[in-house]
């Protein structure tokens, strides 16, 4: 009996310590169990140690002063996460150069040369046209309209469909986005200027873009374009084929909000990836005092460098007046949260 009394007294003395230890063990058990089920359900957050390289953005050497963003409408609907997309190596038009050339009426032997941007090129020439074929595209130009049909009244949809048919007849992919952009150029003496009135246009350029899961692809080799004259007759086509793959194992990375992207733009952390001047003849300035940002959207950036992946970026489109001429500039900011990039 005395032994029971002693044990009881000891238990009473250390009961609070035993209770605390039990609570601690229970908490640790719950944490371990939660982490285990997170891992099993695939809801575990991305491991930031698996860092990625920042996208290699083209950056034109133009100093920008003030950004006017008061008229900019921020997008409220956009993907909150996106994967990095890989280019495939399947595209190689060079293995079909003779076939494509023959379909376009070329029979003379091809010349071969190397281009700094696209690599090996095969060149075909006729008295009134020429063709340059490279691994992922081609450039086709007609110097004479003698063999073309008589000019007709064509809508923009007609012109778009004509190019899609032209490319399809070459057995090439036409997986363009549904929307096309038209730019109208008016001749002023030796120069050209952009006009918003298609009736004043001496040339019309239709631009086709690619999309990946509803997100537009931007980059110098991410568009196909075609030029028509005033009579809606085809002058030239510049075609780029883009084949990509999104692996089921690809991780989805968080996208920074539009406001954070604007802060990077205003904080001089954006790259100028494109500039458009009237007719392409007017040289871009080295410095701009202010620019009106009129649009922003999320995009995948296709680098012209030897990079095999496409990464999401925030795109800002703006315009300014330099020497009484309007020029357009495009800025890009990496869209993935900074913590996932390699330092």
pLDDT in tens, 71-115: 899 998 899 999 988 887 667 899 999 999 999 999 877 788 888
Distance of CA 57 to the CA centre of its chain: 10
Instruction: Give the model's pLDDT for residue 37.
Output: 46
Distance of CA 190 to the CA centre of its chain: 33
pTM, two decimals, is 0.74
- Which positions ≥6 away from 268 have C-beta within 8 Å? 64
Report residues of the chain scoring pLDDT below 50: 1, 4, 6-7, 11, 36-49
Instruction: Give the model's pLDDT for residue 124.
Output: 94
**Per-residue pLDDT tens digits for 126-168:** 988 999 999 889 999 998 655 555 556 889 999 999 999 999 9
């Amino acid at each position: 009996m005395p032994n029971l009394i002693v044990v009881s007294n000891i238990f009473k003395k250390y009961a609070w310590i035993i209770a605390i230890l039990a609570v601690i063990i229970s908490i640790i058990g719950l944490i371990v169990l939660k982490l285990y089920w997170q891992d099993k359900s695939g809801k575990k957050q991305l491991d930031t140690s698996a860092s990625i390289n920042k996208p290699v953005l083209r950056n034109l050497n133009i100093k920008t002063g003030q950004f006017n963003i008061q008229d900019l409408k921020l997008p409220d609907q956009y993907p909150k996460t996106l994967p990095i997309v890989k280019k495939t190596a399947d595209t190689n038009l060079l293995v079909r150069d003779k076939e494509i050339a023959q379909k376009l009426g070329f029979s003379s032997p091809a010349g071969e040369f190397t281009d700094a941007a696209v690599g090996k090129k095969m060149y075909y020439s006729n008295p009134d046209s020429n063709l340059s074929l490279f691994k992922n595209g081609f450039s086709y130009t007609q110097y004479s309209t003698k063999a073309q049909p008589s000019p007709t009244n064509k809508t923009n949809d007609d012109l778009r469909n004509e190019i899609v048919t032209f490319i399809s007849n070459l057995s090439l992919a036409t997986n363009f986005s549904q929307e096309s952009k038209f730019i109208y150029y008016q001749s002023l003496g030796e120069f050209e200027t952009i006009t918003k009135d298609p009736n004043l246009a001496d040339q019309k350029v239709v631009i086709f873009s690619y999309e990946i899961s509803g997100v537009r692809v931007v980059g110098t080799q991410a568009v196909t374009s075609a030029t028509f004259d005033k009579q809606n007759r085809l002058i030239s086509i510049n075609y780029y084929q883009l084949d990509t793959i999104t692996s089921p194992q690809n991780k989805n990375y968080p996208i920074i909000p539009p406001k954070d992207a604007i802060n990077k733009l205003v904080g001089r952390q954006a790259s100028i990836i494109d500039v458009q001047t009237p007719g392409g003849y007017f040289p871009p300035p080295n410095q701009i005092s202010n620019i009106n940002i009129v649009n922003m959207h999320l995009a995948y950036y296709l680098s012209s460098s030897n990079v095999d992946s496409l990464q999401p970026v925030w795109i800002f489109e703006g315009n300014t007046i330099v020497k009484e001429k309007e020029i357009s500039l495009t800025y890009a900011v990496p869209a993935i949260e900074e913590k996932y990039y390699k330092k």
